């Protein structure tokens, strides 16, 4: 197994048995370096057993199929165990019979807490824990819960604890606003992982720089609409609902996260005080606010369709209606024709979409081999952006083959299963797709081939995401 100079440099202390964090940029071989440490650990230590711990199900199979199985299958017995596999029910048996276990942190934690003989294991059953994306070892994250078990054993005198090897592309700053607080955050991650040192290349920095492609970043500030009659109409209807509740002073930051938070609190208070009128109005105000979010991100038509679908579904699922329901339905139905007409007026269409169209035209016209990623904030906006791309006349001749890539679980829109995610990424890798529209699920951990265009559409995420996405960036175009 060949390693680059910078990989040899960062694994040195781990080969001596010390607890460390390997800090390497995405796409430069953190997992391969950890793989070598695991191999040497198993070769040099009697009764050794390794656990590769991940925080997302798809990473179990990714690390197994791309790294551990191809390189170590002839030497060691490797078992992947995830939430969708039957092996988790006999976790203890598989741990006993294998050299390397690759599993989610949740499965290992459940096994530590289990009373079942088939499931229960101890941390001391392992001699090396490799923790992927270890910057998540903080607060209430499952990694931190695992390490709490480790630290409790350490402070009560256990000596045969596993060696810890953390992997990260960026420890992050925890949102710190000062250098001192950023340092404190990184030291906290180190303490939570009981690590001796963070290892990043110092001597072999030029070797690393030759491996890492530096992104060209372009920041486009798109001006807001000069006039916004559709958005103004939505805000007018929201004001009417507040007045119906007898509120003459209320938060008018419609279409913002701050307003959403206030409405969530209103809905919660209505439920706690059994005030159905307040709770129902708050729920409808949230939908109007979501429509304003969409209006700011995608087409006016999409915002209108979203609201119309909500009211059709509400009418279908509710057997009985009270005075508040009747008021809210009449309010929307009485203004729906005007909203529909306003949403069809291209004079007031979203200027961000025009800029996105220009960017896609530039990159997909210049090369038939272009591959791109568009990051957006919600699952709903991924759906509407895909519809917009597929229906856009200017983009139809560019051979853009787009699809959605989102995470699991949502009450508001259909989520993707793990198999669906794998299928989309496989098609993207083979060239059957050349543009993915994604939420932040693709920014960390997914093995996605290099792209020549990454657009952050209407969002700026944290510093960890910005580092993670460098794997496939040549052009990064955030919208503020």
DSSP string of 80-106, one letter each residue = EE-TTSGGGGGHHHHHHH-SEEEEEHH
H or E segment and range at residue 116: none
Q: pLDDT category, 297, cuts 50, 70, 90?
A: very high
- In total, the chain counts a number of residues equal to 480
Helices 179-192 and 142-155 cross at an angle (nearest 10°) of 60
Q: Is the pLDDT of residue 189 over 80?
A: yes
Q: Of 23-32, 222-231, 287-296, which has the strongest mean pLDDT?
A: 287-296
| CA–CA separation, 478 and 457 (whole Å) | 6
Note the pLDDT of residue 176: 84
More confident position, 405 or 464: 405
Asked if residue 479 has pLDDT above 60, the reply is no
Dihedral angle computed from the Cα positions of residues 350, 351, 355 and 358, in that order, rounded to the nearest 10 degrees: 80
In the chain, where the domains are located: 5-211, 216-223+350-478, 229-348
pLDDT at 316 over 90: no
Between 371 and 292, whose confidence is greater? 292
Q: Please state the rounded mean pLDDT for residues 163-191.
A: 93
Mean local confidence (pLDDT), 145-153: 97
> What pLDDT score does 220 carry?
76
The more confidently predicted of residues 133 and 250 is: 133
Helix, strand, coil percentages, rounded to 5, for the chain = 55, 10, 35
User: Residue 414's pLDDT band (boundaries 50, 70, 90)?
Assistant: low
What pLDDT does 442 receive? 59
**Who wins on pLDDT, 283 or 419?**
283
Dmax (CA) for the chain in angstroms is: 77
Give the pLDDT of residue 85. 60
pLDDT reported for residue 476? 45
Higher pLDDT, 460 or 348: 348
Check residues 468 and 177 and name the one with the higher pLDDT.
177
Q: What is the pLDDT of residue 333?
A: 95
Q: Among 62-66, 199-203, 362-366, name the most confident range.
A: 199-203
How confident is residue 410, by pLDDT bands cut at 50, 70 and 90? Answer: very low
pLDDT at 450 over 90: no
The pLDDT of residue 152 is: 96
The contacts of residue 309 (CB under 8 Å, 6+ apart) are none
Overall CATH class of domain 5-211: alpha beta
pLDDT at 413 over 70: no
Average pLDDT, the chain: 88
The pLDDT score that the predictor gives to residue 186 is: 96
What angle, 0 to 180 degrees and rounded to 10, lies between the N-to-C axes of helices 229-244 and 276-297?
170
| Cα(343)–Cα(467) distance, integer angstroms | 38
Q: Which fold has domain 216-223+350-478?
A: Rossmann fold (3.40.50)
Lowest mean pLDDT among 175-184, 195-204, 215-224: 215-224
Q: What is the CATH number of domain 229-348?
A: 1.20.1320.30
CATH topology identical between 5-211 and 216-223+350-478: yes
List the structure tokens of 166: 């953390």
In this prediction, residue 83 carries a pLDDT of 72
Of 479, 215, 229, residue with least CA distance to 355 = 479
Average of pLDDT values for 414-431? 83
Residue 461: the pLDDT is 47
pLDDT for 478: 38
- What is the share, in percent, of the chain residues with pLDDT greater than 70? 89
* Residue 251, pLDDT score: 75
pLDDT band with cut points at 50, 70 and 90 for residue 18: very high
Confidence of residue 421 (pLDDT cuts 50, 70, 90): confident
CA 21/CA 166 separation, integer angstroms: 4
Determine the average pLDDT of the residues in 172-189.
91
CA dist 47 and 367 (Å) reads 54
**Does the pLDDT of residue 420 top 90, yes or no?**
no
> Measured between alpha carbons, how far is 283 from 269 in angstroms, rounded to an integer?
12
């Amino acid at each position: 197994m060949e390693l680059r100079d910078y990989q040899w440099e960062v694994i040195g202390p781990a080969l001596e048995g010390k607890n460390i964090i390997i800090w390497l940029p995405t796409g430069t071989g953190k997992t391969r370096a950890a793989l070598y440490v695991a191999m040497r650990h198993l070769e040099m230590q009697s009764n050794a057993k390794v656990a590769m711990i991940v925080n997302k199900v798809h990473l179990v199979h990714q690390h197994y199929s791309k790294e551990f199985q191809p390189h170590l299958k002839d030497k060691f017995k490797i078992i992947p165990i995830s939430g969708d596999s039957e092996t988790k029910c006999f976790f203890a048996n598989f741990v006993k019979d294998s050299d390397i276990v690759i599993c989610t942190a949740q499965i290992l934690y459940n096994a530590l807490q289990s009373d079942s003989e088939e499931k229960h294991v101890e941390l001391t059953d392992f001699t090396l824990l490799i923790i992927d994306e270890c910057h998540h070892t903080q607060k209430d994250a499952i990694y931190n819960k695992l390490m709490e078990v480790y630290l409790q054993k350490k402070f009560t005198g256990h000596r045969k604890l596993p060696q810890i090897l953390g992997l990260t592309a960026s420890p992050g700053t925890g949102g710190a606003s000062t250098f001192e607080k950023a340092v404190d955050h990184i030291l906290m991650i180190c303490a939570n992982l009981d690590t001796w040192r963070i290892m990043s290349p110092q001597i072999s920095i030029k070797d690393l720089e030759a491996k890492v492609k530096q992104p060209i970043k372009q920041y486009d500030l798109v001006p807001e609409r000069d006039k916004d009659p559709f958005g103004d109409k939505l805000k007018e209807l929201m004001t009417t609902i507040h007045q119906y509740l007898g509120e003459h002073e209320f938060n008018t930051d419609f279409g913002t996260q701050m307003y959403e938070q206030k409405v969530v609190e209103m809905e919660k208070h209505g439920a706690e005080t059994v005030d159905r009128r307040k709770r129902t109005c708050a729920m409808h105000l949230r939908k109007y606010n979501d429509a304003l979010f969409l209006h700011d991100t995608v087409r006016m038509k999409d915002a209108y369709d979203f609201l119309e679908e909500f009211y059709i579904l509400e009418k279908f699922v509710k057997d009985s209606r009270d005075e508040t329901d009747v008021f809210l339905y009449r309010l929307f139905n009485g203004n729906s024709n005007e909203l529909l007409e306003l949403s069809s007026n291209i004079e007031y269409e979203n200027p961000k979409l025009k800029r996105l169209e220009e960017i896609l035209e530039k990159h997909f016209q210049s090369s038939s081999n272009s591959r791109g990623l568009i990051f957006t904030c919600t699952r709903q906006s991924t759906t509407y952006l895909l519809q917009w791309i597929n229906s856009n006349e200017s983009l139809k001749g560019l051979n853009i083959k787009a699809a959605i890539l989102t995470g699991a679980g949502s009450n508001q829109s259909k989520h993707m299963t793990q198999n669906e995610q794998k299928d989309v990424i496989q098609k993207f890798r083979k060239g059957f797709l050349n543009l993915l529209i994604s939420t932040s699920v693709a920014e960390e951990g997914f093995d996605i081939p290099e792209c020549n265009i990454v657009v952050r559409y209407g969002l700026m995420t944290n510093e960890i995401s910005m580092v993670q996405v460098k794997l496939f960036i040549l052009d990064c175009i955030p919208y503020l």
